[in-house]
Amino acid sequence: MAQLVRRWTLNDLTVIQDVLWKTWVESYKPFIPESDLKSYFSEHYDLDALTALFHNPLADGYVAEVDGKVVGFMRTARESEENRYYVSSMYVLPQYQARGLGHELMKRAAKEAKAFKLDRVWIGVMVQNRGTVEWYEKMGYTTVRTEPFIMGKSTVDHYIGYVLVESLLQPTGVKK
């Protein structure tokens, strides 16, 4: 099974929408009504919005592929005023999780942050998304603060924190 992470292309946008929607329903439907998911999705991830993100010079996107099929997506952004590198969103289809794709995406983010001479990758994650919070914590995620995140008519708590670039670039299984 061939796995790879690469930069997104305009041809990836419709399959990225599919990845986002399927992972959102799996991850968020237990605590966010589907109507709010649909509202936020149509506002932020319709083809026009994704195309605008694709052309934004401060943002970038990466896809994870298995045997040539896109099964994951990560959007990143460099915030020059804060001098931070953010993973704005990252999703891997549920049936492809636990295969190392998420780690490979995070490694790619770490390499990009390092290229900007930054030592942290900043991440936001919904507090109620416990499995993802725990996954990030295993990589060394440090929560700095909690902020509200509004999705449709729902407001949920959202952790803001970071993982050190150095810890993401270590060989798998090595902890400092």
Report the CATH number at residue 52. 3.40.630.30
User: In whole angstroms, what is the distance from residue 37 CA to residue 39 CA?
Assistant: 6
The domain total for the chain is 1
The model's pTM is: 0.89
Q: Is residue 175 part of a domain?
A: no
**Residue 156 β-bridge partners:** 149
Q: Is residue 37 part of a domain?
A: yes
Q: Is residue 173 part of a domain?
A: no
Q: Is residue 161 part of a domain?
A: yes
Please state the rounded mean pLDDT for residues 38-63: 92
Q: Is residue 94 part of a domain?
A: yes
Percent of the chain with pLDDT strictly greater than 90? 77
Please state the rounded mean pLDDT for residues 109-125: 94
Res. 80 pLDDT band, cuts 50 70 90:
confident
Q: What's residue 172's pLDDT?
A: 57
Q: Is residue 50 part of a domain?
A: yes
* For residue 174, pLDDT beyond 70: no
Q: What's residue 176's pLDDT?
A: 43
What tokens does 159 get?
């952790």
Q: Is residue 82 part of a domain?
A: yes
Q: At how many degrees (to 10) do helices 13-28 and 47-55 cross?
A: 110
Please state the rounded mean pLDDT for residues 100-127: 94
Side chain identity at residue 149, one-letter code: F
Domain that holds residue 76: 3-168
Q: Is residue 176 part of a domain?
A: no
Higher-pLDDT residue of 80, 139: 139
Write out pLDDT tens, residues 4-26.
Answer: 999 999 999 999 999 999 999 99
Res. 2 pLDDT band, cuts 50 70 90:
confident
